[in-house]
Structure 1
């Protein structure tokens, strides 16, 4: 049953609200287990966490930033867990978040959105030299910059409720864009009234990953990493934003102290302008910049990649940078990034070239040590942002889920993970072959090739998407990972083969008639739909292995075929989902 709370913490005097207590006032949107939606206070979220399915938001990035906020509260209120045994006690205790209530009572003043001295995640008295108050468009990320007519809020956000403004305050610290910003009085970085680009919010540079449970309580606990985790550093000095001195308009250049700090990192200086009815304006400037390199021992919610370019530039090794998501690739196509490092021998004896998210490493440990069942299915939630035009606008938001058996994360038995990655590579190769067929058919008619090729590849990945996810989930019951992958190859061969048949069937008379074509080796062919079909079958057999072809060595093997397989195709796909990361992004100064 949906529960509601009457407002009790909004004081109004002289026509202006003087308080909005986030510990008691509803502001976090949630989905209940019965499917209904509600808006709850921080107190209520923790008290009812076992009856809630998840946090919901205007954008997936809202959910990611709010889950991190809740984790910072939980870690700080519980001051732990210290080790995996402490965590197991929490997992068994249905009332494990009871200490959070007393903690929030102690911190209540710092959770007041409108407090005159310490407003929640804001800087009291923040102002520009000219006293400007900006449109709320600056913090509401679902109003596209320069494209307001594609938003339901078009063209401007004139007013927000206190509850929604609080959600956007959390979000702007995590995901605000970069670019030139108006300088604040008292900030020594101001030059000519401006502060020049210092990078996006911290979470904006991550390929965000967290583990989802059946309830919000499970989600929080599954991501509540214990302090004895070897792959992460923990410090007694680590504190969330509300247990630090209030921020001034500038930055003291400090470094992050740990997870609680990173989960609530104050990357911006913000101040809401409001009246009795809500928020009508904002002052927004740069806060604390944070270099993204080598924080892999503090930030568990992203994969990491070695950066040779940064190692050369900085003269140190290794240098790890967050591995961002590619909006053009589904999560399963980048599964190698989620399973990396334990499968690699490492480059030059200095460790692996990629590190999987430590949040997933933590869940693997829980299973290995017997606190979760071996057949536990991990629901990895993948969230990220692709920025455009020097990171000054949000181009796309990545939001995906991947359900996989925890056996894929076992360091002691890498065969399952290796076959899961290889299966994604099977799909990638087969879809590239399908794209080559579309390009050959276009060549046979003298038409432009890139459009048909891209469309065929998109159709191929779409057709395999649901099948791969189901195959991956079924791996939990597979006694032999190699045989399981062989089953997958048969599915891919069947699906891609049918799609190829369809392309050939609709190619038209001009494609069957064909035309002269010079291949990459200088050979001249009369290319038509018939020859394109022969090439397609040969390439597909090479990509997947064909059990009906002579010389096929069996599961996972490559067939030996005698057909003319045509001109060389493109380079193999990047199976890690990191094609966009071939060159390093700008590192925040």
Structure 2
């Protein structure tokens, strides 16, 4: 009798957690995910960053499978081909045959070419390390605040596969295992080379009502302007299996989206028995420097870095714009609306910021009529923030904003500008609320900073749901200017009510008041003076012209409420 080699085939074994449109959750195989994509709401992994990594894996499969036997530069080839997929009854049909042809490279336990791993990877001392190095929700050395206590001693094959994909995308930096055969290893250790590729990004993806829509919306055509595609582009499973050392062709890569979405940032080998995975060897893999990768990576914003330009001696250097975990997605809307944000206009010396190319792709679909103007999408933002020299994940950002694609329309920017103007209204009004809190603190003899920060948090928190609802409905409004006027009226009332609450809580000391230093010299400040200043400023900010667009200055504009 012979013993069969162990196998865990990701093409037909359940391992991908998904949430269905009815709210239920289940693990599916790769074949089932594509087959049932119309009934799936979204991936439902262990972390939002895992969802991001898994979706990029599915996109790499889809791009490659749709390329057919000719393996064209990328599929779909152009926006017309994309439209055929969007309207087709079974656009993902080629995936089943594709996965069958490459089944061996999707085996997690394959003895020679294990999925996303390096067969035979080992250290000089033949060490096997804890799975805490692979599982991102276990902070190394700090298990008491983890979802797992005391650590990840063993994983089932399905869960191990998910964390493997996540590690290739979001693994932290720090000292790694020193793999035999890697010339970068010193004294048996792999010294820090930075986080895995997606960890550099302020990730942005576009979600539809179902996973089927989400995959198609993020399936950029090869005729997308300024997006790099090359004939050599291929996913990791169609490339030669990695060894311990860095790949020799990194100077020419990434070749395209398939290469980038399956980038092998790490060299990994899972150690297992018949019941699951019990250990790992995890070392550094292929480096990918983040500067000036905007022609390759579509799922992030980019910021110009004068400091790096000076350091590197280059005329233009763009770096990924990471997310601020303290800022909600709607407050970062100006960075998502392609071409609408101040500073994104291309000048002779280069733009200060570049929007995500995936958003520009949706803008193209909207402008050229491939998506209805009122079609709703969710711009989801996902990212990891690293601490202690990027050796641990400190925070994970996950948020989204629902809006009609007309906000991205290049030929009709009225809706996008209305959304940004309304956002500016909100920010200005909340700053006025913060100033009121600072004045009340000064009037009572207290430090103004804590009260002001608390008022800013209160203001933005109170506007979170109203703005999201207003933004969702903006695309269906016949007149975006009138819609903005409605927002300003609601904003005025909301912030005025919040200010009244601060005044009610100000206390006796603020009522009595005191002399404070002002810009023009000493002045008397109490709650009455603070209220007058607040109401006056708020009224001036939130004026509505009855006969003209609200974002155009006019002498006939009058305050919504007269100053008291």
Which TM class, normalised by the smaller chain length?
Answer: over 0.9
Residues 381-436 of structure 1: per-residue CA shift (max 9 Å, x gap): 11111111221111111111111111111111223222211221211121111112
2-side partners of 1:71 and 1:246: how far apart?
21
- Per-residue deviation, 1:514: 1.8
Residue pair 1:426, 1:543 contacting (<8 A) in 2 also: yes
What does residue 70 of structure 2 align with?
A: none
**CA offsets 1:427-461 (integer angstroms, 9 cap, x no match):** 11211111121122122222232222211111111
How many Å separate the matches in 1 of 2:205 and 2:155? Answer: 29
Mapping 1:155-174, distance limit 5 Å: 155-174=150-169
Q: Distance in 2 between matches of 1:324 and 1:340?
A: 17
The answer to whether the aligner puts 1:227 opposite 2:222 as a matched pair is yes
TM norm structure 1: 0.88
Contact 2:181 2:245 in 1 (8 A): yes
Once the two structures are superposed, the pairs formed by residues 198-209 of structure 1 within 5 Å of their partners are 198-209=193-204
Tell me the SS of whatever aligns to 1:413: coil
C-alpha displacement at 1:475, in angstroms? 1.4
- In 1: Cα distance, 2:264 partner to 2:136 partner: 17
User: Partner of 2:403: helix, strand, or coil?
Assistant: strand
Deviations for 1:31-55, whole angstroms, at most 9, x for unmatched residues? Answer: 1222211111111111111121111
Residue equivalent to 2:528: 530
Equivalent in 170, 173, 181 of residue 178 of structure 1: 173
Q: Does 1:540 align with 2:528?
A: no
For the 8 Å contact 2:65–2:98, the answer to whether it is kept is yes
CA distance in 2, matches of 1:547, 1:95: 51
Secondary structure at the residue paired with 2:492? helix
2:360 paired with 1:365: no
For the 8 Å contact 1:381–1:401, the answer to whether it is kept is: yes
Residues 178 and 190 in structure 2, CA contact (< 8 A), matched pair in contact too = yes
Task: Determine the structure 1 residue equivalent to 2:65.
Answer: 77
2:23 & 2:267 partners in 1: Cα distance? 37
Q: Deviations over 1:85-138 (max 9, x none)?
A: 211111122211111111111111111101111111011111122222111111
Structure 1: 5+ residue stretches without partners:
1-11, 566-589
Shift of 1:319: 2.1
Q: Which residue of 2 aligns with 1:421?
A: 420
Q: CA RMSD in A?
A: 2.2
Query: What secondary structure, in the 3-state scheme, does the structure 2 residue paired with 1:477 have?
Result: coil
Q: CA deviation at 1:311?
A: 2.2
CA contact (8 A) 2:16 2:158 kept: yes
Query: Relative to 1, partners in 2 of residues 1:218 and 1:350: Cα closer, same or farther, differing over 3 Å?
Result: same
Q: Does 1:105 align with 2:100?
A: yes
Number of the residue aligned with 2:233: 238
SS in 2 for 1:166: helix
In structure 1, what is the Cα distance between the partners aligned to 2:398 and 2:472?
Answer: 19
Taking the aligned partners of 2:100 and 2:66, their CA distance within structure 1 comes to: 14
TM-score by length of 2: 0.92
Is the 8 Å Cα contact of residues 218 and 358 (structure 2) preserved in structure 1?
Answer: yes
Q: Distance in 1 between matches of 2:152 and 2:344?
A: 52
Cα distance between partner residues in 2 of 1:145 and 1:499: 43
1:341: Cα distance to partner?
A: 3.1
Q: CA shift at 1:289, angstroms? A: 0.9
Q: Which residue of 2 aligns with 1:513?
A: 512
Query: CA offset at residue 276 of structure 1?
Result: 0.8
Partners of 1:27 and 1:85 in 2: CA distance:
34
Matches within 5 A, 1:271-286: 271-286=269-284
Q: Indicate if the aligned counterparts of 2:228 and 2:256 stay in contact, CA closer than 8 A.
A: yes
The answer to whether 1:259 aligns with 2:257 is yes
Pairwise CA distance, 1:555? 5.0
